[in-house]
Copies of this chain bind each other. A is one copy, B any other.
Amino acid sequence: MLAPQGDRNRLRIEVLVRFDNRAPLRSIATANRQSEILMIIDCHGHYTTEPKDLSRFRKEQTAAANAKDKTAMPSRASLKMSDDEIRESIEKNQLKLQRERGTNLTIFSPRASGMGHHIGDESVSLEWSQICNDLIARVVSLYPQNFVGVCQLPQSPGVPPKNATGELERCVKELGFIGCNLNPDPSGGYFNSPPLTDKWWYPFYEKMVELDVPAMIHVSGCCNPAMHTTGSYYLNADTMAFMQLILSDLFKDFPTLKLIIPHGGGAVPFHWGRFRGLALNNGRPELTEIIKNNIFFDTCVYHQPGINLLAEVVPADNILFASEMVGAVKGIDPKTGFNFDDTKRYVDAAPKLSAADRQKIFEGNAHRVFGRLKTPAPAKAPG
């Protein structure tokens, strides 16, 4: 986009800055040199290229659950997923993309749309969660420099979130995971759970605080025909969650609780004025004050103007780099020639961000949010 600047162009930039009242705009070449020395952490990756037999197991499990036929449940021992198969699935996909895009570490969790909390009962959800989480642990143990684990939870419609604390604790203490994906709508599209600010969720938050792990608020596959899983359902859950949080006293009750709203915060940055106005009209402080130490947005926004807006309205302290690569929007944008989900390029090019902002977004904030994250030595050539 912007070529390295000569003196004449540099003058132009300064004029632009003065007129437009922006933060000083550095040349992109300089920004890239600086970002090369960072550990770039992608806080939002799912294992979407799982070994085939996992899908066979899930199909059989779902069929048995739907038929309420416990005798038809597949056995966990039947699962055939070799290390070689895992290696191939990762090296051809997520690792390849880390290398190509120049990122170092992905905070990795099971496929979000596959959590399927609405399928079967609590026991089905628990077995499925354990299998998926154990699989993430195997990926992490094969590539400890490139992946760190975040768990899926054994939620189930109508079941108290407290019941998911056991699996959270197992994943953190036994598998070394550093966070979890918390589903605000285990019904899969009907939004009939109590708001995230309801006491219903408090026992789960207590465990999160005790273990010092954050949650990404992330729904799963949508079974409501009115909503498209990755097109509207994900974004709607994000927007819903944010609105619940800003009118509540949740962070008075849990001052160290940290929640990540993925997909750039859903509709929130685009409607920052609406949310600011609603907060102020309800006697709440400015949004920047409300979110300060507790709410973070990721950068899963798949075009340059969207990331520019995010960087303009949300403080850099509250943005975490993420791509959700090999996820919702695969393929190359014919207008740019690059993958839609190559969000590092957009963050690199966002004119409002300083070098210090980028350091926070790519690395610093991840350490603030994920208290258990111990960054391994950066891998020059991932894999």
Contact = CB atoms under 8 A, between A and B. Distances in A.
A379 interface: no
Contact of A235 (B13, B271, B308, B329): B271
22 contacts: A12-B19, A16-B16, A16-B20, A185-B226, A190-B190, A190-B191, A191-B227, A195-B225, A232-B240, A232-B242, A235-B239, A239-B239, A264-B270, A269-B270, A270-B306, A271-B303, A272-B305, A272-B306, A273-B301, A276-B333, A305-B309, A305-B312
Interface in A177-227: 184-185, 189-195, 224-227
Interface string A243-278: 110010000000000000001101101111111111
Contacts of A230: 274, 278
B227 A274 contact: no
A164 to B, nearest CB: 18
A29 interface: no
A273 B226 contact: no
B280 A302 contact: no
A328 interface: yes
Given A235-B267, A236-B239, A306-B309, A274 B329 contact: yes
Contacts of A272: 303, 305-306
A18 interface: yes
Closest 4 A-B residue pairs measured CB to CB?
A273-B303, A273-B302, A267-B267, A270-B270
Contacts of A15: 12, 15-16
Interface string A5-16: 000010011011
Contact of A226 (B240, B242, B278): B240
A334 interface: yes
A228 interface: yes
A306 to B, nearest CB: 5
A247 B278 CA distance: 33
A4 to B, nearest CB: 14
Given A191-B226, A235-B239, A274-B302, 20 more contacts: A12-B18, A16-B16, A189-B191, A191-B224, A191-B227, A231-B278, A232-B243, A235-B267, A236-B236, A239-B239, A239-B267, A267-B270, A273-B301, A274-B301, A276-B340, A277-B329, A277-B330, A278-B328, A303-B313, A308-B309
Interface of A: 9, 12-13, 15-16, 18-20, 184-185, 189-195, 224-228, 230-232, 235-236, 239-240, 242-244, 247, 263-264, 266-267, 269-278, 280-281, 301-303, 305-306, 308-310, 312-313, 328-331, 333-334, 340
Number of copies of this chain in the oligomer?
2
A271 B301 contact: yes
Candidate in A194, A263, A273, A305 with the most chain B CB atoms within 10 angstroms: A273
Candidate in A19, A189, A231, A303 with the most chain B CB atoms within 10 angstroms: A231
A193 B367 CA distance: 43
A13 to B, nearest CB: 7
A186 to B, nearest CB: 12
Candidate in A184, A226, A228, A242 with the most chain B CB atoms within 10 angstroms: A226
Given A235-B267, A267-B267, A340 B226 contact: no
A274 B306 CA distance: 10
B9 A13 contact: no
B12 A226 contact: no
Contacts of A331: 277, 280-281
Contacts of A9: 19
B16 A270 contact: no
A55 to B, nearest CB: 20
Contacts of A18: 12
